[in-house]
Amino acid sequence: MDIRFDNKVVLVTGGGGGIGRASALAFARAGAKVAVTDRDVAAGEETTAQVKALGAEALFIAADVMQAAQVQAMVTQVVAHFGRLDCAFNNAGIEEEHMRLADCEEATFDRIMGVNVKGVWLCMKYQIAQMLAQGGGAIVNTASVAGLVGAPKMSTYSASKHAVIGLTKSAAVEYGRKGIRVNAVCPGVIRTVMLERAVQADPKVAATVAGAHPIGRIGEPDEVAAAVLWLSSDASSFVTGLAHTVDGGLTSV
């Protein structure tokens, strides 16, 4: 199936690398106009340059998704530049936690919940307002398999991703009759900077997590991007409120 986004405007948060960058590039290849946001200016600008190199229109906006004023300004800038907002991929997130629940510091808890939950909520708040004004749109949020099952030594991260799925399902119910679809992707272990950090902390992690997936390997960012594009496209026009796993069968074990 050839999924196209010609003349569609797409916003990707956390677009500076990994799944965000892969998705921004995939949207560009499919004909979209792409707005990339990230706190890391250099990384976000690099993604934007790569999008432009594919011949697509692109805009970079530096934004911290925990700051309401910055998120509102981000959406405003996208609409001012491109005229509308058709699709949003809320991918910005952090993990920053490899410890048992009782050992997690309050500051770590607040930071993870701030980015992963408040950030997604703020993004949806302003994206939905714009989509209501223009008559519809599609939103995809990055959750995780840790939002579907428990994650030892990542209890706060797991809680935050369960919350993302709750936000996704609730928004899907609230706005389905308004032409706005809201879904989530739930990746398994994907080859990203997050995985690199875990491997640096414990070199045995790579082999362990690869073997945990029934498919027998770690996932690639492009494989998650493919699911994001499908959920954002008219090909999934009767799909909303879905927590879509891209996990090599991990949650089937």
CA atoms within 13 A on the CB side of 137: 24
In a domain, 230, yes or no: yes
Confidence of residue 201 (pLDDT cuts 50, 70, 90): low
Judged against a pLDDT cut of 90, whether residue 74 lies above it is answered with yes
Among the residues of the chain, which ranges form H helices?
18-29, 41-53, 68-82, 106-113, 119-134, 155-175, 193-201, 205-212, 221-232
In a domain, 231, yes or no: yes
Asked whether residue 217 is assigned to any structural domain, the reply reads: no
35: which 2 tokens? 């707005």
| pTM for this model (two decimals) | 0.96
| Total domains in the fold of the chain | 1
Residue 210 inside a domain? The answer is: no
Annotated catalytic residue 157: yes
In a domain, 233, yes or no: yes
List pLDDT tens digits, range 33-73.
999 999 999 999 999 999 999 999 999 999 999 999 999 99
CA 86, CA 123: separation in Å to the nearest integer?
A: 14
2 lies in some domain: no
The rounded Cα 2 to chain-centroid distance in angstroms is 22
Given this model, what pLDDT does residue 112 score?
97
State how far the Cα of 72 lies from the Cα of 123, in Å rounded to an integer: 8
Tokens 């954002």 correspond to 232
pLDDT at 198: 67
Please tell me which residue in 27, 126, 157, 175 is annotated as part of the active site: 157
Query: For 149-198, how does the pLDDT look when each residue is reduced to its tens digit (9 = 90+)?
Result: 999 999 999 999 999 999 999 999 999 999 999 999 999 999 887 777 76
CA distance 18 to 224: 10
Contact 173, 241 (CB under 8 A): yes
Q: What is the pLDDT of residue 156?
A: 97
**Is 204 part of a structural domain of the chain?**
no
- Would 35 be classed as within a structural domain? yes
Q: In which order are the strands placed within the sheet that holds 180-187? A: 58-62, 33-38, 9-13, 87-90, 137-142, 180-187, 243-246
Domain that holds residue 239: 9-190+222-247
CA-to-CA separations, 20 to 30, 49, 174, in angstroms, rounded? 15, 14, 26
Say which CATH number the domain at 112 has: 3.40.50.720
Summarize pLDDT for 2-33 with one digit per residue, the tens: 899 999 999 999 999 999 999 999 999 999 99
For residue 199, what pLDDT band results from cuts at 50, 70 and 90? low
User: How is residue 107 written in tokens?
Assistant: 């500051």
